[in-house]
Amino acid sequence: MAGWSSLCMVALLAGAIAGLAEDKASETVVGLVIILGMVLPSIIGTAMGMSALRKGASNPVAIGIALVWNALLLGGLILLMIIGNLSG
């Protein structure tokens, strides 16, 4: 989940998605694609990482890395959404 969300985030920040929205309807479609392609997998990956953690036992490092990376991606996307809503 973190890998897919990372690829989509790179495409978003590189400007590959910028030319797709020409009118209000296409902006809505691009927003939906961003939500389904980036936000939803980040939420699922964060939830999967949190559910894989075992209390009182040692956890593999990969679970911690995946959890933190998914949470950082999710936080960054939420921050971008807040900035986008307040800038208009």
The CA distances from residue 20 to 12, 50, 55, in Å, are: 11, 35, 45
Predicted structure pTM score: 0.77
Question: What is the percent of the chain where pLDDT is above 90?
Answer: 28
Please list the ranges in the chain whose pLDDT falls under 70.
none
Q: What is the pLDDT of residue 1?
A: 84
Burial class of residue 8 (count of CB atoms within 10 Å of its CB; 0-12, 13-18, 19+): buried
Give the model's pLDDT for residue 27. 81
